[in-house]
Amino acid sequence: MAQFWKPGTERPPLLDDDDGGILLYSASSSSSGYGYVSIEKQRQRLPVFKYRTAILYLVETHATTIVVGETGSGKTTQIPQFLKEAGWADGGRVIACTQPRRLAVQAVASRVAEEMGVKLGEEVGYTIRFEDLTDRDSTRIKFLTDGVLLREMMEDPLLTKYSVIMVDEAHERSISTDVLLGLLKKIQRRRPELRLIISSATIEAKSMAAFFHTSKKRRGLKGEDCVPKTEPAILSVEGRGFNVQIFYIEEPVSDYIQAAVSTVMSIHDQEPMGDILVFLTGQDDIDAAVRLLTEEAQNNRKSSSGLVVLPLYSGLSRADQDLVFSPIPRGKRKVVISTNIAETSLTLEGVSYVVDSGFSKQRFYNPISNIENLVVAPISKASARQRAGRAGRVRPGKCYRLYSEEYFVKEMSAEGIPEMQRSNLVSCVIQLKALGIDNILGFDWPASPSPEAMIRALEVLYSLGVLDDDAKLTSPAGFQVAEIPLDPMVSKMILASNQLGCSEEIITIAAILSIQSIWISVRGQQKDLDEAKLRFAAAEGDHVTFLNVYKGFLRSGKSPKWCNKNFVNYQAMRKVVEIREQLKRIAQRIGIVLKSCESDMQVVRKAVTAGFFANACNLEAFSHNGMYKTIRSSQEVYIHPSSVLFRVNPKWVIYNSLVSTDRQYMRNVISIDPSWLIEAAPHYYQHHHPNSIPH
DNA sequence: GAGCACTGC
């Protein structure tokens, strides 16, 4: 193993400018790392502190300031405070700082409240879905997810209460960040006094600056000094962290799971103590690697006995996820084998070694087939750096990349493709429409999606009857659908349930469909889960099965015990209840009457059809293997093995989503009567497929 | 016979 590696010791001379040496403490993560030092001293030690004057000057004089700073520079916690101290929150104005994730919003907000010595929810507050810890009158610094800020724009399109909006982690390029940036650019034209701060990673800074550089003259006040420069300022702030030494593989490997396992073993044999974090692509890979490592430990007792191997992915129960944070016996070494969840969402302290497979699962969207796919794809240099940085949070670390240096330098792309260009855009388009953006095709995005994807989104919205012939929101349906924070097809289903008298049931179904899974996935207990599922299974399909589970959950008094017994994920059910409450409030506000259809499941199936008619499929006449074809495009699809209708194969079904592996699998399936399709969407089926549906 | 990660009035 030893000669397998080409130590990158003599750092980088040639390549990749700023790789290798990265990272830091997270300034916001905890105060314990600083020991007895006072909060004020801690603040002053952060790299960003030296730039206080510069930042305030740039924000004063420029409409947009781009701050390039690595993790641990302190920019997220400090910049809002600098702005507040400089008076940007005077006169009732508010400083906003957005994050892509809820947890980050909460963590940063409480850190800032602590530093300022104020109670969270007063001068410093935060808003995330389901939780508003702000005070209308007293909150001056507000942290929020970018999704929440987008929603706020529906009430107040110019975001008038904010004097400065800081968009953090903009380099992650999530859909909501990108949409937000596009809209903020428009707002700037109407509100020259608004200041934007975009916090971005190194390489993106220039293209971000180009995006915000408008040559357009602002209509505006005369006195030149009131009008900030339109050209964005760029400021770099160094991070604070420990060096991470990078090692590459000499020859490409064919089996990265095996390579990862041997690398872990050789680190364990040869390197001093310190936890190991391995990045693989998904549950399958991870379970396989865990198995291999455990086997190694048995065969080779001497060297592997000190390993504690733990998987980490979002599908695990909370308890299993928490295991990776729990302390292990002295003298043992923790090995966490993880998906991308450990790249940005979860931070493991104490990791000294990172093993990077170079791959992750990524979403891709094909607007022609209108199908989103999940595929294993090479990561970007930016991701590789982020992964490496995970080894240097508390002391210098090492990162072992399971690909060659040449590959990294020559073939790996600098950044990933923005999510916007890999996704279905229906939700995004309806949101823009609701904000009065009529010309979607001409919208100025930080990264334009393909025209095909936009046209497809417009088509789908038109077929749902939420856009009219002029691509304007219909009234009331279009406006109602835009109000509901769900996929427009689900929202349409809710609207239909109002007429059909089953809104109580449909809202439950909508809430369940909007979380990943209500079932516990326990390795090795698949059979038990299947049996548990049978207790709830409904002949009509998965949607009705969900209703049975929800009823059982309520009847148990929302009992965690009941959940465990039935292989139902308790955390997931609590979330369902929460989402359901929110949907109920919104439904009532937009004029939907809450009504139960009791046991009449036919109306429930009709309501599902009203939203998802485009996903209708017909069982192939002489199919022995359960092959269906979509009515829309005659695509070959199969019922997913997790569905209660697997092997039942009703003649006509509607699916909620497709999962593509070796085949296209329909997830969450319900049986329908084909005549309902024409009832629900005459325009769609009579024009397109006059012969395929029996009348 | 099988599941990447986030997120939302």
Question: Helix or strand or coil: residue A363?
Answer: strand
| pLDDT for A292 beyond 80 | yes
Q: Cβ(A568)–Cβ(A520) under 8 Å?
A: yes
What average pLDDT does the segment A133-138 reach?
93
pLDDT range class, residue A8, cuts 50, 70, 90:
very low
| pLDDT for A583 beyond 70 | yes
Q: Give A80's contacts (C-beta < 8 A, 6+ positions apart).
A: A95, A97, A112, A141, A143, A166
pLDDT at A523: 65
Q: Cβ(A569)–Cβ(A543) under 8 Å?
A: no
pLDDT range class, residue A363, cuts 50, 70, 90:
confident
| pLDDT for A626 beyond 70 | yes
What average pLDDT does the segment A113-139 reach?
93
Percent of chain A scored above 90 by pLDDT?
57
Orientation angle between helical segments A175-190 and A146-155, nearest 10 degrees: 40
**Minimum-distance residue to B1 (CA–C1'):** A641
| pLDDT for A169 beyond 60 | yes
Question: Helix or strand or coil: residue A132?
Answer: strand
Give A642 CA → B5 C1' in Å: 21
Min mean pLDDT across A213-217, A234-238, A413-417, A548-552 is at A213-217
**Minimum-distance residue to B2 (CA–C1'):** A641
Return the closest nucleotide (C1') to the Cα of A485.
B8
Q: Cβ(A232)–Cβ(A212) under 8 Å?
A: yes
Q: Cβ(A80)–Cβ(A95) under 8 Å?
A: yes
Please check whether strand B approaches the CB of A662 to within 7 Å. Answer: yes
Residue A30: CB atoms within 10 A of its CB come to: 12
Order of strands across the sheet with A162-167? A131-133, A124-128, A141-145, A94-99, A162-167, A195-200, A64-69, A233-237
* φ/ψ bin of A500: left (φ > 0), alpha (ψ from -120 to 50), beta (otherwise): alpha
pLDDT range class, residue A2, cuts 50, 70, 90:
very low
**Minimum-distance residue to B9 (CA–C1'):** A586
Beta-bridged to residue A275, according to DSSP, are A351
| pLDDT for A298 beyond 80 | no
What is the pTM (predicted TM-score) of this model? 0.88
pLDDT range class, residue A31, cuts 50, 70, 90:
very low
Cα–Cα dist A325/A137, whole Å: 39
pLDDT range class, residue A226, cuts 50, 70, 90:
low
Percent of chain A scored above 70 by pLDDT?
90
What average pLDDT does the segment A299-324 reach?
79
For A379, how many CA atoms within 13 A lie in the half-sphere containing its CB? 23
Give A479 CA → B9 C1' in Å: 13
Min mean pLDDT across A415-419, A505-509, A581-585 is at A415-419
**Minimum-distance residue to B6 (CA–C1'):** A101
Please check whether strand B approaches the CB of A647 to within 7 Å. Answer: no
For chain A, how are helix, strand and coil distributed in percent, rounded to 5?
45, 20, 35
Question: Helix or strand or coil: residue A41?
Answer: helix
**Minimum-distance residue to B3 (CA–C1'):** A283
Q: Give A210's contacts (C-beta < 8 A, 6+ positions apart).
A: none
Return the closest nucleotide (C1') to the Cα of A419.
B6
| pLDDT for A216 beyond 70 | no
| pLDDT for A21 beyond 60 | no
Ramachandran angles phi, psi of A373, nearest 5°: -120, 150
Q: Which of residues 498-557 of A touch strand B (CB under 7 A)?
A: 514, 517, 519, 521, 526, 530
Residue A684: CB atoms within 10 A of its CB come to: 20
Q: How would you classify the pairing of strands A141-145 and A124-128?
A: parallel
Q: What is the mean pLDDT of chain A?
A: 86
Please work out, in degrees rounded to the nearest 5, the angle formed at the alpha carbon of residue A176 by the alpha carbons of A390 and A589.
Answer: 130
Q: Which of residues 302-341 of A touch strand B (CB under 7 A)?
A: 313-315, 339-341
Min mean pLDDT across A318-322, A440-444, A509-513, A684-688 is at A684-688
Return the closest nucleotide (C1') to the Cα of A376.
B4
Cα–Cα dist A496/A477, whole Å: 10
Cα–Cα dist A250/A581, whole Å: 55
**HEC sequence for A152-179:** HHHHCCCCCCEEEEEECCHHHCCHHHHH
| pLDDT for A123 beyond 60 | yes
Q: Which of residues 154-173 of A touch strand B (CB under 7 A)?
A: 155
- H-run or E-run covering A53: helix A52-61
| pLDDT for A534 beyond 80 | yes
pLDDT range class, residue A475, cuts 50, 70, 90:
very high
| pLDDT for A34 beyond 50 | no
Q: Which of residues 557-596 of A touch strand B (CB under 7 A)?
A: 582, 585-586
The most confident of the ranges A247-256, A412-421, A484-493 is A484-493
Greater model confidence, A2 or A279 = A279
Min mean pLDDT across A22-26, A484-488, A544-548, A615-619 is at A22-26
pLDDT at A376: 87
A536 Cα distance to chain centroid: 30
Min mean pLDDT across A342-351, A472-481, A501-510 is at A342-351
Q: Which of residues 379-438 of A touch strand B (CB under 7 A)?
A: 419, 427, 431
Q: Is A284 exposed, middle or buried (0-12, 13-18, 19+ CB in 10 A)?
A: exposed
- H-run or E-run covering A242: strand A241-249
pLDDT tens readout for residues A43-74:
888 888 899 999 999 999 999 999 998 777 88
Cα–Cα dist A168/A115, whole Å: 19
Cα–Cα dist A79/A95, whole Å: 10
Cα–Cα dist A388/A13, whole Å: 18
pLDDT at A17: 29
